[in-house]
A and B are shown apart, each in its own frame.
Chain A
Amino acid sequence: MNFLPEPTLNSYLVLSAVLFAIGTAGVFLRRNLITILLSIEVMLNAVNLTFVAVDRYLGAVDGQIIVFFVMTVAAAEAATGLAIVIALFRHRETLNPDAYTTLKW
């Protein structure tokens, strides 16, 4: 079963990069606020993966600590973001970000 190449750090980094790019695309292309938030979560997970992979490469444990904090902050951010979405939804009855254009001149 050793016909598949052994995963190196590079493989994990590539995977992480791919996931991050997917998340970015999601932020730009979707027209649903909740889906945008989900895409942001994808991006955060990609970053987490990077940390843990490099952690393993370096033999340290600090990366996991950082992941811990990232998750905490992601939770806080998700909570706040969703609260805002709810508040916005009450005003316009839509989750389309293009409906909210008052942040301008």
Chain B
Amino acid sequence: MLFLIPLLPLAGFVVNATLGRRLSKPASAAVAVGAMGLSFGWSVAAVWRLLHVTPVGGVRAINEVVYSWLVSGRLNIPFELRVDPLAAVMILVVTGIGTLIHLYSTAYMQEETDGEYARYFSYLNLFAAFMLVLVLGASFPVMFIGWEGVGLCSYLLIGFWFTKPSAADAGKKAFIVNRVGDFGFILGMLAIFATFHTLDFQGVAAQVAALPKEETFGLLTGITLLLFLGATGKSAQIPLYVWLPDAMEGPTPVSALIHAATMVTAGVYMIGRNAVLFGHAPHTLDVVAVIGCLTALMAGTIGLVQNDIKRVLAYSTVSQLGYMFLAMGVGAFAGGIFHLYTHAFFKALLFLGSGAVIHALHGEQDLRYMGGLKHELPLTYWTFLIGTLAIAGVPLLSGFFSKDEILAKTYSSGHTVLWFVAVVTALLTATYMFRLLYLAFFGERRQAPGHGAQAPGSHGAHLHDAPPAMAIALVVLAIGAVLAGYVGVPDVLVSGGNRIDAFLAPSFTAPGAAPQVEAAAEEAGAHESGTELGLMGVSTLAAFGGIGIATYFFRRKPEAADALADRFSGLYRLLLGKYYVDEIYDAVLVQPIKRISTLLLWRGVDAGLIDGTVNGVGLVVRGWSAVLRRLQTGSMRAYAMSFFLGVIVILGYYLWR
């Protein structure tokens, strides 16, 4: 009954999409949240069943063929779902955090009309359905359905307030940039089918395992690079990350769900799903690691100076995704998934918290006009603080364990330079996150010019903290942000503590082969426990160092920050302008395409050729008919004569026969 997991949210979508306008808000909410909740329950049941299934070839899995989908010649693709350890983690994250975010949304979107409210929830349910298909798919095409579907829902939800031009544009940008990545993904899929004659994940993995690792740039490297291109689009890495900051135009719960916890992790998941394939293409893995690391650094630097609270979080997401790709790139597949899992908790928490702030301030998102919210929004503040500590990698919280594992594996696999960059990025992460915290919650409130009349007048000095629906979500996520990491305590601290590694390992090996990660872990653990403790110390230092810098610049001496910005004004502007990547893309790619489309394709082909042909046919017909029309002279004699002419012709024919 695995298919119920995506089917329940899909049913929620159908109900809200068709009947939504006539349903009251509580009814729509009940349908949506109920569907997600039931899906979560079912997922828990499925995982429970998984844990008690006997392993086949070292892998525990539950397969389910829902129906026979594509059968054509040699191609046979059933709509098949499979739950294995990796999918188990994913469905729990998607449905669990998804349910919380749905619950949060019931309060956050309260000011919309009934119809819009229902539309929002229908899209949100649809997204969940597609995401679940993505992670449960047992073959590339099924995953691709989900892949495309979540892209569509992302577009719909980013552009939810489509009457606002910036939102509509952001939605389009997201979809189009994603499409570029999807192009790579599709080509990769086709190449896989051409090479392996199957698109089933297990099937491909089994065939690849029999091949040797590719030392040079070969077929497998090409395929995996194409797939990775798709991943950069979906998961916002260089070069296709540009849509994610703009995606903040959508409602904040959307940002939390799609652009933090689930959709953007699809790329990471995809690599994990094809660990055997990627493992046989070491050059691609190098590319993945480098891009991940660079993206993490770049996004971190940009996030340092942004003024919109959601933008900071968006770049933070890009940066953390970079960490996940770094992990995948150095072969720490389980580590990447572990970070995905903890990141889902604290990033969703941070976004929802920022949503609570924005909600309380009636739409203000600029950090320069916040401040002093610590006492007015206590619940929001405490949960936000927990999230910030987690993301900064402060020990004992979830982020520490997952980030530390990535750093350790990076170092121990020999990528020392990448490790160093990653540590610097960790420092930056702590810095900009605490900057955010201080600017938003501490100090005096700075009113925006022009807002002065509004805030005191409408609510006085008293702001509303999060309403119950939102508060529940925040609290549960905060608890998760603290505790989630404990499934992955490194072996060096607690022997056998890294349960998630062991749990996930079978998913990353070919069927029948021995799990490779355990071997690597044993190697690392055996002779480097001292190094690992040292590394842990370094990352802790980085975290606290970042906190310290932020405290100095944004708490003790705020003027110092401004002074620094003035002294390095060029660099400051570069960072604030996001390295002008959007502008470069526009000049190099967008404008030329627009010009070609306008001049060549529109005026030349469409208006000239196609319209010309169609209109030309009409003109020719009209011309000829103007000539032929003269035959109808109205004179009866002429008609009689033409009859007779026919008679003569026929007579002549018979004569000559």
Contacts from A to B (Cβ < 8 Å):
24, 27-28, 97-98, 100-105
Contacts and interface: CB of A to CB of B under 8 A. Distances in A.
Contacts of A98: 635, 637
A103 to B, nearest CB: 5
B634 A102 contact: yes
B68 interface: no
B632 A105 contact: yes
Nearest to B630: A105
B644 A105 contact: no
B632 A104 contact: yes
B482 to A, nearest CB: 89
Central interface residue in A24, A27, A101, A104, by most chain B CB within 10 Å: A104
Interface of B is mostly: helix
A101 B640 contact: no
Contacts of A102: 634
Given A101-B633, A103-B639, 14 more contacts: A24-B644, A28-B637, A28-B641, A28-B644, A97-B636, A98-B635, A100-B634, A100-B636, A101-B634, A102-B634, A103-B634, A103-B636, A104-B634, A105-B629
A97 B636 CA distance: 7
A101 B637 contact: no
Contacts of B634: 100-104
Contacts of B644: 24, 28
A84 to B, nearest CB: 11
Give the interface size bracket for B toward A: 10 to 19
A28 B641 CA distance: 7
Interface of B: 629, 632-637, 639-641, 644
Nearest to A104: B634
Contacts of A101: 633-635
Contacts of B629: 105
A-B pairs with lowest CB-CB distance, top 6: A101-B634, A104-B634, A104-B632, A105-B632, A97-B636, A103-B634
Given A28-B640, A28-B641, A97 B632 contact: no
Contacts of B641: 28
A27 B629 CA distance: 24
Contacts of B637: 28, 97-98
A80 B329 CA distance: 100
Nearest to B637: A97
A30 to B, nearest CB: 9
Nearest to A24: B644
Nearest to A100: B636
Contacts of A27: 640
Contacts of B632: 103-105
Nearest to A31: B637
Contacts of A103: 632, 634, 636, 639
A41 B636 CA distance: 18
7 contacts: A28-B637, A28-B640, A101-B634, A101-B635, A103-B636, A104-B633, A105-B632
Nearest to B639: A103
Nearest to A103: B634
A41 to B, nearest CB: 15
Nearest to A98: B635
A17 to B, nearest CB: 11
Contacts of B635: 97-98, 101
A100 B640 CA distance: 14
Contacts of A104: 632-634
A34 to B, nearest CB: 14
B515 to A, nearest CB: 87
A98 B639 CA distance: 12
Nearest to A27: B640
A20 to B, nearest CB: 11
Contacts of B640: 27-28
A103 B641 CA distance: 15
A104 B639 CA distance: 11
A103 B633 CA distance: 8
A27 B632 CA distance: 19
A102 B636 CA distance: 10
B643 to A, nearest CB: 10
A100 B637 CA distance: 10
A24 B634 CA distance: 20
Contacts of B639: 103
A10 B636 CA distance: 34
B134 to A, nearest CB: 65
A34 B641 CA distance: 18
B652 to A, nearest CB: 15
A49 B41 CA distance: 103
Contacts of A100: 634, 636
A88 B637 CA distance: 16
Central interface residue in B629, B632, B633, B637, by most chain A CB within 10 Å: B637
Contacts of A24: 644
A47 to B, nearest CB: 13
A101 B639 CA distance: 11
Contacts of B633: 101, 104
B655 to A, nearest CB: 13
A17 B331 CA distance: 106
A28 B178 CA distance: 79
A54 B629 CA distance: 44
A101 to B, nearest CB: 3
A24 B648 CA distance: 12
A27 B637 CA distance: 8
Contacts of A105: 629, 632
A105 to B, nearest CB: 5
